[in-house]
Amino acid sequence: MIDRVRALRHDLGKYVALQITSLPPDPTTEDLAEAVRADVLATRRGPDRTVAAVELWDAASPALRAALADNPSFLLLDQAMEGLRRLGPAITADRPDRRDLEQAASCARAAADAVRALDRSVRR
Amino acid sequence: MAQVLIVDDQDRLAELCRRAIPEHTFRGPARGWAEASEELARGRTDVVLLDLHFDLPPEALLGVGPGCDLEAVRRRQGIEILGAIRRRWPALPVVLTTSREELSLEQVDGEEYTYFLDDDRVDAQALRAQLESILAVRRGDDADGPVYWGRSVVMSQIRRTLAILSRGRLPVVLSGPTGTGKSLLARHFVHAHSGRRGRFVAVDLSTLPRDLGAATLFGAVRGAYTGSVADRTGAFEAADGGTLFLDEVGNLSADAQKLLLTVLQEGFVTRIGDLKERPVDVKVVVATNDDLRARVADGSFRADLYTRLNPATAVTLPRLVDRNPDWARLVEFSVERALQGPTLRGQLEEHAARGSVGLRRVVVVAGGALPEPEPGVVVVLFPDRALRALSAHDWPGNQREFSMVVENAISFALAELAAVPPGERPDVVSIRSKLVRDLLDHAEDAPVGGGPRFSVTLRPQATLNRVATEVERQYFVELWRETGGDFGKMADRLLGDASQGRKVQLRFNQLGLKVRELRGGAP
């Protein structure tokens, strides 16, 4: 369990808000869209494959859900990831709505924070 | 501009760094140890950014053994790579791009030079701040104001010794060849670390008439000597509470040696022609090219003064080439120092204005890739060939000569670029290797001493050709030894073209030189 959460913290938590966190305070819609798409849709990207945040979550969460269903951080993470799943089509649109992008950025930050809190609580 | 190597199986961190921290060069990502070790061996790297988890096939992983859990090895591959880096580059700063918290149970190698992110949520601003702080420590490690220490073991030891000696009351003796930075060290290190609030006063005894040495050091009252029309304060009094640096102390006259001994023993100074004793508290630093012990033996330097100068802790500065310097870093350091002078800085500003480049920052690239243009940034570029020419020179004038060649190179390059040639980037001041070689040729003509010397015994019927051939022969032997018998390197030194090794070897043979004999040490 500890190892699985640690892996999720590294793979998801480190990259899901990587570019979003580095944006200037009031980014243009284009910059925001680029950062959100990179972080949420290409969360892990290497020479051979690209994995979206939701795919990472879907691969890891079934094994964690039963044991952590009551963990507040897990619930927050679940909520943030569902938000990203819901906003997926909106952020890939040709002309994405700025509010959708801001919501997605907010979910990504919440997911990054929640997975770190989850890791700490599991270790305790 | 620092060289940062990213070791990561993912692309995103490298992309973020290049976009958000353009002032440094980010290489990679190297995907695993094999690529990382190749990159590290290839050239200068100031910092490594190292990921923890590497999703690589088993054959590309370190630490794979029979029956091991591959997923666990992948998850801690960064720690394995860190261990491998530490075995070859123990003092290279490495930032593990994860938080210490994530690795709370792991031991990491080389803690002193290993850093973690404050938080594993990577933020470009925080990463930039962390890089700057690591680089500042590293710069602090190899430089103190105008003093370049480098990272050689011998200079680290000298630095530690001088830091201790600076705080004590006893004199400090600095010796070593010309240009090794004795006066710089006295002013910017010994005095700076002495904790003394008084002045730093330097007296070069090689330029003072010997009969004026005593009055300059100890002062004099009016009428004490011919032409002494007023009371005069000496260097000891001027340096009271501070540091007095006596360069070329071996030039002191016998009388002045005796007076110096008295000041060191008694702690007071008496002006020439006066009876009044004036207490002084001065840290004395002396420098010499002479072998003072030999001077004591031949009777030209007082034995009691020699003993009082604390010779047991004398610090001998090595030749520049014996310090095994990081040439690229030394170039950067020297350019930065040179551009602090108003003349060269002014020339550079004029050049930037001609090319319509507002000068906000100067980036020095020595032996690396030319960065993309950036508004307000002027690049001073020493290409690989120029850097190789600098590193192949034997620098008989040591660091002083090096600084002068670098400063001259920039100055001449700027003059050559008076009009930016069509097609050239106006933001780049490129130092051609030929210019460097020309400057080095001139430098070799200068009487700085310390370089190879050839001797020819003139016989009654020796022709000019015979004398020239003998000198050429000795020069070839010297070069052969310096280059480890590499004819390509010899050709590079002699002709500026390493591909002409065959031609050099032919001439080597014509001169009657035989590799077998040179290897065997026979003449």
- Listing DSSP states for B39-80 in one string gives HHHHS--SEEEE-S-----GGG-SS--TT--HHHHHHTHHHH
Q: Which residue has the higher pLDDT, A102 or B207?
A: A102
Supply the pLDDT for residue B66: 86
Residue B402 makes CB contacts below 8 A (sequence gap 6+) with B320, B330, B334, B390, B395
Supply the pLDDT for residue B522: 42
Supply the pLDDT for residue A79: 93
Q: CB atoms < 10 A from the CB of A79, how many? A: 13
Give the residue from chain A lying closest to B51, CA to CA: A10
**DSSP three-state, residue B234:** coil
Angle among Cα B39, B44, B45 to the nearest 5 degrees reads 70
Q: In whole angstroms, what is the distance from residue B70 CA to residue B408 CA? A: 57
Supply the pLDDT for residue B326: 81
B 431-490 residues with CB < 8 A to A: none
Closest CA to B394 of B452, B438, B447: B452
> Could you tell me if B106 lies within 8 Å of chain A, comparing CB atoms?
no
Q: What are phi and psi of B116, to 5 degrees?
A: -125, 165
Mutate to test the interface with B, among A9, A14, A109 (most CBs of B within 10 A): A14
User: Which segments of B248-328 are extended strands (E)?
Assistant: 268-270, 277-279, 283-288, 315-316
Q: CA–CA distance from A13 to each of A107, A112, B93 (Å)?
A: 12, 4, 25
ipTM of the complex: 0.85
Q: CA–CA distance from B146 to each of B143, B156, B183, B202 (Å)?
A: 7, 16, 11, 17
**pLDDT-derived band of residue A83, with 50, 70 and 90 as boundaries?**
very high
Supply the pLDDT for residue B323: 85
**pLDDT for residue A122 is more than 60:** yes
Supply the pLDDT for residue B443: 63
Contact of A84 with A54, CB cutoff 8 Å: yes
Supply the pLDDT for residue B459: 67
Query: Rounded to the nearest 10 degrees, what angle do helices B77-88 and B33-42 cross at?
Result: 30
Q: Write out the DSSP string of chain A.
A: -HHHHHHHIIIIITTTTHHHHTS-SS--HHHHHHHHHHHHHSSEE-SS-EE-HHHHHHHHHHHHHHHHTT-HHHHHHHHHHHHHHHHHHHHHSSS--HHHHHHHHHHHHHHHHHHHHHHHHHH-
A 63-122 residues with CB < 8 A to B: 112-113, 116, 119-120
Mutate to test the interface with B, among A6, A9, A10 (most CBs of B within 10 A): A10
Tokens 């394995």 locate to B80
The average pLDDT across A68-83 equals 91
Contact of B349 with B176, CB cutoff 8 Å: no
Per-residue pLDDT of chain B (523 residues; tens, 9 = 90+): 778 999 999 898 898 888 888 778 888 899 999 999 998 887 778 899 999 889 888 988 998 888 888 888 888 889 899 989 888 887 788 888 877 666 655 566 656 667 777 666 677 777 888 888 888 777 666 667 788 887 777 887 888 899 899 988 899 999 988 889 999 999 989 998 888 989 999 998 888 777 788 889 999 888 777 777 788 899 999 999 999 999 999 889 898 999 999 999 999 999 988 889 999 999 999 999 888 889 999 999 999 999 999 888 899 999 998 887 888 888 988 998 888 888 888 888 888 888 777 788 888 888 877 888 888 888 999 998 999 999 989 898 899 999 999 998 998 888 877 766 667 788 899 999 889 998 888 766 555 445 566 777 766 666 777 777 788 888 888 888 888 888 888 888 887 778 888 888 888 887 888 887 787 644 4
Supply the pLDDT for residue B331: 92
Q: Write the DSSP symbol of residue B423.
A: T
Q: Residue B187 has which token pair?
A: 């002013």
CA atoms within 13 A on the CB side of B450: 23
Contact of B155 with B322, CB cutoff 8 Å: no
Q: Which helix (H) or strand (E) element contains residue B94?
A: strand B94-99
Q: Do B16 and A42 touch (CB under 8 A)?
A: no
Contact of B338 with B400, CB cutoff 8 Å: no
Q: Which residue has the higher pLDDT, B326 or A75?
A: A75
| Residue B232, strand partner residues | B220
- Please give the model's pTM, rounded to 2 decimal places: 0.56
The residue count for chain A = 124
Q: Write out chain A residues lying below 8 Å of B75, CB-based.
A: 3, 6-7, 10
Q: Do A120 and B101 touch (CB under 8 A)?
A: yes
